[in-house]
A and B are shown apart, each in its own frame.
Chain A
């Protein structure tokens, strides 16, 4: 699409952000007859924020719905959320998101999103999560095509620097479009510009210098500029400002945008050591999807924020293929050397582990109780000696997925400021997800929040102007 010849500085609704929540809000507002402009910070090839890396959304359904099997009721969904957040959620908002997710499925389909049966290797999600055909970028493409056809003004390379707050109104939005400064005076503003995880300085304030070694799994454009600007002006916040969601990923992943492929599923079948070739946690505590999320933190706490997974030939085929081939050697010492670990020490650690393994039946997909004896820390499942060459190794680093700090919203997605409920400011997506997801993570729930609150924000804002 070619750029509009003139930039409309007074749209009815200005949407800040360009991912799932932003586009959903923009489409809903446009369908209610409003003039809408979207300011996406990324250039066109990187449009869509973290949504471009997503693959499914978690959806309530009373019976089989599209690609979803069985049923997934409100109560079960809410229970799943309580388990991961340990109660750190706003029940009213959470239930709202859950109840509306069924309608969201149909809305998404009507707006060009296509679903596919759950991907191979993720069968456990076929009942709860609807997978996007082609993944999140295909979803983003569908929404942008709809937005173009609907006559929404789309601007890429559009960086919002400041929203002027006067009492309970946003009076002006300053932005740079292709590095040219503009002042927008829209009727209403919807902020859907994500978290701040790409700003490693901000992360470092919470995590210390260690944060510089974190990899960011998603877009480099979620720098939290708008979030910080609004918080500085007294908007109510929610979520722990010091926390981010981090998982352990392939240490060779790019600094930004490594996305899904950088995950490693081999930890349960391995021995994990730190830089000094020492074990530090029970690798077999639980099945991997349930422990995936804690390993980011565990690795972050190790020296240099790095760890190394060691497996042998017997486990090579037990997990999803990795994006980069593992480092390979015929001896443990040789592997240690290639990984930059003290070889003799690694040998010692592996020998101690092997000696602690006990005979028993190994079962890759369930808790098999095959545990070590007399080892600290223990490995409580899948503990098989690492003896069959070739030996394989991967480095692990913390990969940040998202941050929890966000804007507090009410059930109409409206933001509350120092002077009370804002007249013309709504929020959707990751920037307000902390209201519902105070800690932990539930696969596909971010997209549910984004879609549901995107719809609410778009409809509410459209009704306001």
Chain B
């Protein structure tokens, strides 16, 4: 009968998110928490592309969930963090190339664990199978530089190409235009500060302490992100020194690769451990419950990349070095390969969403 409350049955993740977003748009109490809500209020109807964009703009701070009058047991059963997380996962899977790999690694922790073990085993075998030239020193005495390049150049570039393909599809679906310099600046500044995890008031998000705000997740994420970027800078400067200045590794403690690498490794390791501790205390139902285990495995892998790198630095002069090298390079290889198919992809899509949002805000 017409006077009855409409049927709240749900279909795809986009349908469920659409149902919830329409309720949000009639309320708007959460407008100040993050960028997602102003993006919602700019619209009246939500096409699938709009929902994908809003979902990728959402940083899962959960502020809106705890502030919501309509969460269960209310019959509207709003849980926007979860609804958007499910759309997000779906979008990363759909845009990934090849998509089945993303479905596997986003939903199954064992897949990441298995890939990591395989990566490490492969490196052990490789070291056994490809004898390093006698002229090699340090790590290159175990695995030659050219073998490393032959292995890691494609392992680095191919996943990036796959990611680029996915991002292009994303950009088309959300109706992105060619970004301007100002839009890039805006998006990068937001990402650099993780402004959307500040809760609008600067006190942080609701992740591990229920309705209370804490900066912990934002800080842990900063540690992971900046740690990762420092590690990346370490590798990049190493590459530049090697090819540009004919200064091959090993490098001294006060060299750029080491300074970046050690601080980055420590930050990344600590950030991953912190993030795992926070994840353990977080409420799984405020994210996509189907990806919790896989995301945890991914953070574990990232932490392992960092920790094994540090161990390699600390024990590089001992007999443990060859085994540690295989462990570290194996983890790095798996990490590179899995980048387009795991939680790692979120950083790229998030940046794209921030960029698109800057366009929508008229930056």
Contact = CB atoms under 8 A, between A and B. Distances in A.
Interface of A: 45-46, 52-53, 55, 114, 116-117, 119-121, 132-138, 141, 144-145, 251-254, 257, 259-261, 263, 306, 317, 320-325, 327, 338-340, 395
A254 B77 CA distance: 12
A135 B33 CA distance: 11
A114 B201 contact: yes
A331 B41 CA distance: 30
A135 B24 CA distance: 12
B22 A325 contact: yes
Contacts of A320: 26
Contacts of B26: 260-261, 263, 320-323
B22 A116 contact: no
Contacts of B200: 114, 116, 133
A145 B69 contact: no
Interface in B47-87: 63-64, 66-76
Nearest to B75: A254
26 contacts: A45-B73, A114-B200, A116-B32, A119-B28, A120-B31, A133-B200, A134-B29, A134-B64, A135-B69, A137-B66, A137-B68, A138-B63, A141-B66, A141-B67, A141-B211, A145-B212, A252-B5, A254-B76, A260-B69, A306-B3, A317-B44, A320-B26, A321-B25, A323-B22, A323-B23, A325-B22
A327 B71 CA distance: 26
A11 to B, nearest CB: 24
Given A52-B69, A145-B212, A321-B22, A134 B63 contact: yes
Contacts of B27: 135, 259-261, 323
Contacts of B63: 134, 138
Interface in B1-45: 2-6, 22-23, 25-33, 38, 41, 44
Given A145-B211, A252-B4, A45 B33 contact: no
Given A261-B26, A321-B26, A323-B26, A340 B33 contact: no
Contacts of B75: 254
Best-surrounded residue of A55, A134, A259, A340 (most CB of chain B within 10 A): A134
Contacts of B66: 134, 137-138, 141
Contacts, number: 105
Contacts of A46: 73
Interface residues of B, number: 37
Nearest to A134: B67
Contacts of B74: 254, 257
Q: What are the 8 tightest A-B residue pairs by CB atom distance, in nearest-first order?
A: A134-B67, A135-B29, A116-B32, A261-B26, A138-B67, A141-B211, A114-B201, A323-B26
Nearest to A55: B29
Contacts of A135: 27, 29-30, 67, 69
Nearest to B203: A114
B2 A121 contact: no
A120 B22 contact: no
A73 B140 CA distance: 78
Given A134-B66, A340-B2, 10 more contacts: A45-B71, A46-B73, A120-B31, A120-B41, A252-B4, A261-B27, A320-B26, A321-B26, A324-B6, A325-B22
Contacts of A52: 69
B71 to A, nearest CB: 7
Contacts of A254: 5, 74-76
Nearest to B201: A114
Nearest to B3: A251
Contacts of B69: 52-53, 135-137, 257, 259-260
A395 B4 CA distance: 11
B2 A327 contact: yes
Interface in B76-123: 76
Contacts of A306: 3
Nearest to B200: A133
A134 B32 contact: yes
B29 A395 contact: no
Given A252-B5, A323-B22, A323-B23, A134 B70 contact: no
Contacts of A327: 2
Contacts of B203: 114
B30 A134 contact: yes
Nearest to A324: B6
Contacts of B29: 55, 119, 132, 134-136, 138, 260
Nearest to B28: A119
A203 B104 CA distance: 58
A66 to B, nearest CB: 12
A110 B3 CA distance: 45
A251 B6 CA distance: 11
B5 A253 contact: yes
Contacts of B72: 45
A135 to B, nearest CB: 3
Nearest to B64: A134
Given A137-B68, A252-B5, A325-B22, A121 B28 contact: yes
A136 B74 CA distance: 16
Contacts of A119: 28-29, 31
A57 to B, nearest CB: 14
Best-surrounded residue of B22, B28, B29, B33 (most CB of chain A within 10 A): B29
A108 to B, nearest CB: 13
Nearest to A320: B26
A38 B259 CA distance: 56
A1 B58 CA distance: 29
Contacts of A120: 28, 31, 38, 41
Nearest to A132: B29
Contacts of A324: 6, 22
A340 B1 CA distance: 9
B214 to A, nearest CB: 11
A395 B32 contact: no
B224 to A, nearest CB: 27
Nearest to A116: B32
A261 B23 contact: yes
B3 A395 contact: yes
Contacts of A317: 44
B41 to A, nearest CB: 5
A259 B30 contact: no
Nearest to B4: A252
Given A254-B75, A317-B44, A324-B6, A137 B67 contact: yes
Contacts of A114: 32, 200-201, 203
B67 to A, nearest CB: 3
B68 A252 contact: no
Contact of B2 (A253, A322, A339): A339
A447 B283 CA distance: 32
Nearest to B73: A45
A212 to B, nearest CB: 13
A330 B258 CA distance: 71
B211 A133 contact: no
Given A52-B69, A261-B23, A395 B2 contact: yes
Best-surrounded residue of A252, A263, A317, A339 (most CB of chain B within 10 A): A252
